[in-house]
């Protein structure tokens, strides 16, 4: 087969191929070898560019290289294929958001919950949940504070300011309170110093 009949895949085609291979599985479960028939059209320079852009990770082996989608790569592949806008994706995402919001509302603090419990409550595949959390889709697509995976990759970390616009996140509140306390402290000490000075003038 000539090159014209089977041209090298570009970045978008390569990401689409990887997404199709992955299906509903979590991204860590699919690692493709560069000479695999399903990705034979992806040339070395394309793999290098995907790696440089942190859309895939590369692991060199004996006589081959293995590639795996990153969370960012999964997110970009969904955008390229139009899957972010499908009713199925939107429905899953809305159910997930509802579950996470409810967990924070009940606890009134940062929440840790097992991934399989969150997936069950939201009626979504656990592998899909893993990929959504790794992709940081809230921050990149909605500019909102999102949930994440903990270091063990088995727990969902839901911050107290989950789903809030990034420009309105709560961490600024303690700072303003701190400033008020400092001002009050200065005023109290200033008044105390003035009274002491008066007493020295009028013993």
pLDDT of residue 33: 87
Whether 98 and 64 map to the same domain: the answer is no
Mean pLDDT, rounded, for 138-163: 93
Amino acid 168: pLDDT: 57
The band of 190, judged by pLDDT with boundaries at 50, 70 and 90, is low
What's the 3-state SS for the chain? CCCCCCCCECHHHHHHHHHHHHCCCCHHHCCEECCCHHHCCECHHHHHHHHHCCCEEEEECCCCEEEEECHHHHHHHHHHHCHHHCHHHHHHHHHHHHHHHHHHHHHCCCEEEEHHHHHHHHCCCHHHHHHHHHHCHHHHHHCECCCEECCCCCEEEECCCCCCEHHHCCCHHHHHHHHHHHHHHHHHHHHHHHHHHHHHHCC
Residue 7's pLDDT band (boundaries 50, 70, 90)? very low
Using the predicted structure, report yes or no on whether residue 198 has a pLDDT greater than 80: no
pLDDT of residue 110: 92
Greater confidence (161 vs 5) lies with 161
Q: Does some domain include residue 190?
A: no
- What letters, b where the CB count within 10 A reaches 16 and e where it falls short, cover 113-134? bebeebbebbebebbbbbbbbb
Q: Which residue has the tokens 């969902």?
A: 156
Which has the closest alpha carbon to 70: 11, 131, 129?
131
Confirm whether 106 is domain-assigned.
yes
109 and 155 inside one domain: yes
What average pLDDT does this structure show over 108-116? Answer: 93
Domain shared by 97 and 122, yes or no: yes
Residue 155 lies in a domain: yes
- On whether residue 128 sits in a domain, the answer given is yes
Does 42 share its domain with 98?
no
Question: pTM to 2 decimals?
Answer: 0.75
Count the domains in the chain: 2
pLDDT for 120 equals 97
Residue 176 in domain: no
The CATH number of whichever domain residue 71 belongs to comes to 1.10.10
19/64 same-domain check: yes
User: Could you tell me if 102 and 161 lie in one domain?
Assistant: yes
Instruction: Render pLDDT for 80-110 as a digit per residue (tens, 0 to 9).
Output: 999 999 999 999 999 999 999 999 998 888 9
Q: What is the pLDDT of residues 29-76, one digit of tens each?
A: 998 887 787 787 888 899 999 999 999 999 987 778 999 999 999 999
In a domain, 196, yes or no: no
pLDDT score of 117 more than 80: yes
Contacts of 80 (CB under 8 A, 6+ apart): 12, 15, 16
d(CA 137, CA 129): 11
Q: Please give the pLDDT value at position 58.
A: 92
- Is the domain of 162 the same as that of 92? yes
Same domain for 95 and 135, yes or no, is yes
Question: Please, which residues bridge with residue 179 across strands?
Answer: none
Long-range CB contacts for residues 55-59, cutoff 8 Å, separation at least 24? 55/11, 55/15, 56/18, 59/31
User: Mean pLDDT of all residues in the chain?
Assistant: 82
Q: How far apart are CA 22 and CA 25, in angstroms?
A: 6
Query: Final residue of a domain: which of 75, 105, 125?
Result: 75
Question: Domain check: are 96 and 153 in the same one?
Answer: yes
Confidence of residue 187 (pLDDT cuts 50, 70, 90): low
Domain assignment of residue 194, yes or no: no
Q: Which domain holds residue 99?
A: 87-168
């Amino acid at each position: 087969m000539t090159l014209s009949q089977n041209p090298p895949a570009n970045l978008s085609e390569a990401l689409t191929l990887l997404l199709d291979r992955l299906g509903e599985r979590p991204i860590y479960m699919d690692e493709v070898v560069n000479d695999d028939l399903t990705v034979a059209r992806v040339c070395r320079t394309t793999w290098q560019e995907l790696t440089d852009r942190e859309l895939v990770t590369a692991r060199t082996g004996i006589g081959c290289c293995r590639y795996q989608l990153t969370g960012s790569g999964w997110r970009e592949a969904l955008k390229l294929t139009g899957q972010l806008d499908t009713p199925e994706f939107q429905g899953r995402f809305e159910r997930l958001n509802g579950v996470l919001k409810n967990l924070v509302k009940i606890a009134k603090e940062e929440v840790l919950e097992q991934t399989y419990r969150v997936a069950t409550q939201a009626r979504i595949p656990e592998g899909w949940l893993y990929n959504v959390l790794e992709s940081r889709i809230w921050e990149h697509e909605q500019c909102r504070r999102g949930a994440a995976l903990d270091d063990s990759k088995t727990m969902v970390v839901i911050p107290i300011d989950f789903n809030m616009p990034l420009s309105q996140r709560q961490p600024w509140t303690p700072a303003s309170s701190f400033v008020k306390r400092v001002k009050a402290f200065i005023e109290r000490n200033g008044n105390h110093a003035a009274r002491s000075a008066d007493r020295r003038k009028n013993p």
